[in-house]
């Protein structure tokens, strides 16, 4: 009985780590899309979106720190 309990815990841990990886990749993708949209808007309309650009940079830095710690990429 103890072996199956430990085995179930390992499977749950693996699934949790896999879920976290997909959440990381999803956020990375969404931030890339947002960054492209902001860049397009700045290029086409000529309006500077400094606050939004800083926010995107913050999120990229944050995700890079997470990737260094957990090696999701």
**C-alpha to C-alpha distance for 43 and 8, rounded to whole angstroms:** 52
pLDDT for the residue 1: 47
Q: Which residues, including other chains, have CB under 8 Å from residue 28's CB and lie 6 or more apart?
A: 63
Task: At 33, give phi and psi (nearest 5°).
Answer: -60, -45
pLDDT in tens, 20-40: 999 999 999 999 999 999 999
Of residues 17 and 4, more confidently modeled = 17
**C-alpha to C-alpha distance for 19 and 38, rounded to whole angstroms:** 29
């Amino acid at each position: 009985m103890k072996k199956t309990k430990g085995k179930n815990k390992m499977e749950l841990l693996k699934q949790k780590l896999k879920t976290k990886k997909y959440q990381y990749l999803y956020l990375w993708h969404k931030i890339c899309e947002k960054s492209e949209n902001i860049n397009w808007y700045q290029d086409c309309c000529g309006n500077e979106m400094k606050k939004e650009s800083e926010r995107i940079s913050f999120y990229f830095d944050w995700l890079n720190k997470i990737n260094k710690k957990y090696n999701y990429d």
